Amino acid sequence: MTTISSSPPQTFAQKAIARAGGLDRVEVGQIVDVRPDVVLSHDNTAAIRRIWQQFGQARVAIPERIAITLDHAAPPPTARHARNHAEIRAFVREQGIRHFFEVGRGICHQVLSEEALVLPGQMILGADSHTTHFGWLGAFGAGIGRSEVAALWATGELWLRVPESMRIVLEGELPPGVTAKDFALRIIGDLGADGGLYRSVEFSGSGIAAMGLESRMVLPNMMAEFGVKNAYVPPDEKTYGYLAKRLATRYAIGDREMDRSERDGPSTPRSLLADLKALALFPDPDATYVATHVYRAQELEPYIACPHSVDNVVPLSAVAGTRVDQAFLGTCTNGRLEDIAAAVEVIRGRRVAPGTRFLVIPASSQVLQAGLERGYIQALVEAGAVIGVPGCGPCMGNHMGIPAPGEVTISSANRNFRGRMGTADAAIYLANPAVVAASAVAGRIVDPREVVEG
Amino acid sequence: MPTLTGRAWKYGHNVNTDVLFPGKYTYTARGREEIARHALEDLDPRFVQEVQPGDVIVAGRNFGCGSSREQAATCLVYNGVSAVIAESFGRIFYRNAINNGLLAIPCPPAAQAIQPGETVTVDLEHHLIRCAAGEFPFPPLSDTLRGIVEAGGLVAYIRGKVRSNE
Ligand code: SF4
């Protein structure tokens, strides 16, 4: 028997927005009032609170859906920053917000991932442009403004337009020394900083399936620099395993506030896996895409984004030899354990070059702890690196590694805009973690193989 | 809806939020004056000294790309900027602009034709931009967005909604 489908196939974005809007299906271009599962804010929470107070409400609408981290200027570099944090803590207490993460816990996107606060098929909207990050686990993540977060606190609801979708396929496994960061830089370099403007990007292909989870996280995160609304990596057994383990820990410690997860008894990891699979959303095979770009992994190499724009991308060899004053390994893009491991592999038994600083800031306290357990942090300190408090560090120019005018930084972050790190007249190059570490050792931009073999 | 007239400040492609409003001020700057003072600080120091109420910013593709920081839009509002005309906008900036009553108008031909310093008129009733090179139509806002702009921004719009739910 053949069945004739009455509804045309849908993309991930259509399905996720329909679900969050309580609708059966939605069309591209439609404006939908959605009720996101999680609403994220960070050091900007005090400013959002001041906007929200204009609504005259005593209580926020759905406190259990609010997640707040102190990460962007943490610990506070000035008394004004400290007062900002104090205002946020007062709000958290007064509204009874349980998903609150203190100074030192880490960067919002990393922490909410580790805490399994966002699940496949769910929607997170955040007052942070890299909220696209959560696509790594098959969720719909998009950045919004402060007023919009205030509106979500007040009503639980916000309008979204259903975006056109675009597919990016990675065929084959990345060769050694070429990372997800290089793939992301290549895409942005090829298609421009507005190449994905307003679109939903869906990643697929054998190269994505073969990637570890920490590498997958880089892709939707970096797609913020491609102009996208959200980006999506299809979840698989690896994804469910990561989340189930963390959910089980949370239930064990008695956190029963997960939306859609109110349970009668303690969940077994097996039933958690089944629940996660049931939540996951996948695009229909014949869904409509405005573009499809196919990359062959074997043809990629290490890339570097040159000042002052993320789409100013060249092969690493083109800028090799450029003097480096500061190397920075960290951020929500590349501050995880595999990034630190890649740096350690390059730097173990070597020294940071005289005249160069090497700053390493783990993305979270869990990353720091794992790095300590494996001896990575020891190796970095022995090599002359400086370890910072988990958080955003100097990524957006608040503190802990602001360059002097005229200095050159090589960074594992996602943005190299003029003034991004706090100094307008300073150059920022973006690269993968091994290149950052090798450049710290050489005091100039260099291919890691040269340092390791040379 | 009225007609806006102002002088054009013209910039290039990918004008990002870090040059519109540097991140180092984003958690501490409070109040209109302090936020206004840092507008375009790392792009055009002349801007805050010479901008006049009603002036218009004209730019290339992807204006406002980068961070979600809302001050990238409000710092322009607080300096009296009436509209931004660009070839395209970063999506969060676009939302932030509309949510703060700043007209963000995607109109590639006008964005390309307008010359720095010339007088530009935005006719909101007929959806036309007038400049020395001629008249350029732009697409009207969707109903939802028009509702937000007409309410005077998102906060006022939601306040209406919160009240009507009570
Ligand atoms: S690490 Fe950088 S990009 Fe990531 S959330 Fe923090 S400031 Fe933003």
Give per-residue pLDDT as tens, A14-27.
999 999 999 999 99
Q: Which atom of ligand 1 lies nearest, measured to the CA of B67?
A: 8
User: Is residue A216 within 6 Å of ligand 1 at its C-beta?
Assistant: no
Who's near A12: CB < 8 A, 6+ residues apart? A140, A165, A200, A202, A232, A281, A282, A283
What percent of chain B has pLDDT above 70? 97
Quick one: pLDDT at residue A257? 47
Domain identity same for A196 and A102: no
Q: Would you say residue A274 lies in a domain?
A: no
Domain identity same for A196 and A92: no
Contact state of B142 with A81 under an 8 Å Cβ cutoff: no
| Cα–ligand 1 centroid distance for B139 (angstroms) | 34
Under 8 Å between Cβ of A427 and A304: no
Residue B28 token pair: 């501490």
Domain count, chain A: 3
Domain identity same for A315 and A449: yes
Q: Would you say residue A40 lies in a domain?
A: yes
3-state secondary structure of A135: helix
Q: Which residue type is seen at B128?
A: L
State the CATH number of the domain containing residue A445.
3.30.499.10
Question: Considering only CB atoms, which chain B residues are within 8 Å of A72?
Answer: 27
Contact state of B158 with A151 under an 8 Å Cβ cutoff: yes
- CA-based R_g, chain B, Å: 15
Q: Which atom of ligand 1 lies nearest, measured to the CA of A224?
A: 3
Residue A361 token pair: 């800031």
User: Is residue A130 within 6 Å of ligand 1 at its C-beta?
Assistant: yes
Arithmetic mean of pLDDT, B66-81? 96
Strand A408-411 relative to strand A326-330: parallel, antiparallel, unpaired? parallel
Pick the last residue of a domain from A162, A193, A215: A162
Under 8 Å between Cβ of A361 and A388: yes
User: Is residue A400 within 6 Å of ligand 1 at its C-beta?
Assistant: no
Domain identity same for A116 and A174: no
User: Is residue A313 within 6 Å of ligand 1 at its C-beta?
Assistant: no
Arithmetic mean of pLDDT, A298-317? 98
pTM for the model stands at 0.95
DSSP letter for B65, please: B
DSSP E strand stretches across A236-391: 291-296, 303-305, 313-315, 326-330, 357-361, 386-387
Arithmetic mean of pLDDT, A395-412? 97
Pick the last residue of a domain from A298, A325, A354: A298
Domain identity same for A396 and A330: yes
Tokens 């180092």 belong to B24
Q: How far is CA A198 from CA A307, B63, B95, in A?
A: 24, 13, 12
CA B89 to chain A, closest CA, distance in angstroms equals 8
Of the candidates A185, A217, A435, A179, the one whose C-alpha atom is nearest the C-alpha of residue A310 is: A185
Question: Considering only CB atoms, which chain B residues are within 8 Å of A31?
Answer: 142-144
| Cα–ligand 1 centroid distance for A331 (angstroms) | 6
Quick one: pLDDT at residue B142? 86
Burial class (CB within 10 angstroms; exposed 0-12, middle 13-18, buried 19+) of A264: exposed
Quick one: pLDDT at residue B46? 97
How many Cβ atoms from other residues are within 10 Å of residue A286's Cβ? Answer: 9
Q: Which of B41, B100, B144 sits opposite A159 (nearest CB)?
A: B144
CA B78 to chain A, closest CA, distance in angstroms equals 16
- Examine the pLDDT at B59 and tell me if it is beyond 80: yes
Residues 290-349 of chain A with CB under 8 A from chain B are: 309, 311
Say how far apart CA A348 and CA A289 lie, in whole Å: 46
Contact state of B95 with A148 under an 8 Å Cβ cutoff: yes
How many Cβ atoms from other residues are within 10 Å of residue A262's Cβ? Answer: 8
Domain identity same for A123 and A218: no
Q: Would you say residue A247 lies in a domain?
A: no
Residue A454: pLDDT band (50, 70, 90) is confident
How many Cβ atoms from other residues are within 10 Å of residue A354's Cβ? Answer: 7
3-state secondary structure of B151: helix
Arithmetic mean of pLDDT, A143-158? 97
Domain identity same for A92 and A155: yes
Contact state of B24 with A422 under an 8 Å Cβ cutoff: yes
Domain identity same for A146 and A193: no
3-state secondary structure A371-420: HHHCCHHHHHHHCCCEECCCCCCCCCCCCCCCCCCCCEEEECCCCCECCC
Q: Would you say residue A261 lies in a domain?
A: no
Report residue A289: phi and psi, to 5°. -125, 140
Tokens 């573009």 belong to A291
- Element holding A176 (H helix, E strand): none
Q: How far is CA A190 from CA A110, A115, A193, A242, in A?
A: 28, 35, 9, 32
Question: Considering only CB atoms, which chain B residues are within 8 Å of A189?
Answer: none
Domain identity same for A336 and A448: yes
The model's pLDDT over B93-113, given as tens digits with 9 standing for 90+, comes to: 999 999 999 999 999 999 999
Report residue A171: phi and psi, to 5°. -95, 125
Domain enclosing residue A331, as ranges: 307-453
Q: Would you say residue A246 lies in a domain?
A: no
Q: How far is CA A308 from CA A342, A427, B20, B63, in A?
A: 26, 7, 14, 15
Computed over every residue of chain A, the mean pLDDT equals: 95
Strand B128-131 relative to strand A326-330: parallel, antiparallel, unpaired? unpaired
The model's pLDDT over A181-227, given as tens digits with 9 standing for 90+, comes to: 999 999 999 999 999 999 999 999 999 999 999 999 999 999 999 99
Residue A53 forms contact with B (CB below 8 Å): no
Burial class (CB within 10 angstroms; exposed 0-12, middle 13-18, buried 19+) of B117: exposed
State the CATH number of the domain containing residue A225.
3.40.1060.10
Q: Which atom of ligand 1 lies nearest, measured to the CA of A393?
A: 1
Least confident of A6-10, A257-261, B29-33: A257-261
Residue A358 token pair: 């090497």
Omega of the bond prior to A75 within 30 degrees of 0, cis? Answer: yes
Residues 340-379 of chain A with CB under 8 A from chain B are: none
Which sequence spans correspond to the domains of chain B?
A: 3-164
**Helices B154-165 and B143-151: angle between axes, nearest 10 degrees:** 100
User: Is residue A332 within 6 Å of ligand 1 at its C-beta?
Assistant: yes
Domain identity same for A332 and A448: yes
Burial class (CB within 10 angstroms; exposed 0-12, middle 13-18, buried 19+) of A294: exposed
Give B3-164's CATH code, choosing from 3.20.19.10, 3.30.300.30, 1.20.140.10, 3.40.50.300: 3.20.19.10
Q: Would you say residue A13 lies in a domain?
A: no
Nearest CA in chain B to A31: B144
Residue A262: pLDDT band (50, 70, 90) is very low
Residue A146 forms contact with B (CB below 8 Å): yes
Quick one: pLDDT at residue A444? 98
Of the candidates A26, A347, A275, the one whose C-alpha atom is nearest the C-alpha of residue A161 is: A26
Q: Would you say residue A243 lies in a domain?
A: no
Nearest CA in chain A to B142: A31
Who's near A176: CB < 8 A, 6+ residues apart? none
Quick one: pLDDT at residue B161? 75
- Element holding A82 (H helix, E strand): helix A79-95
User: Is residue A398 within 6 Å of ligand 1 at its C-beta?
Assistant: no
Residue A120 forms contact with B (CB below 8 Å): no
Of the candidates A324, A326, A306, the one whose C-alpha atom is nearest the C-alpha of residue A314 is: A306
- Best probe of the A interface among B17, B75, B91, by most A CBs < 10 A, is B91
> ipTM above 0.85?
yes
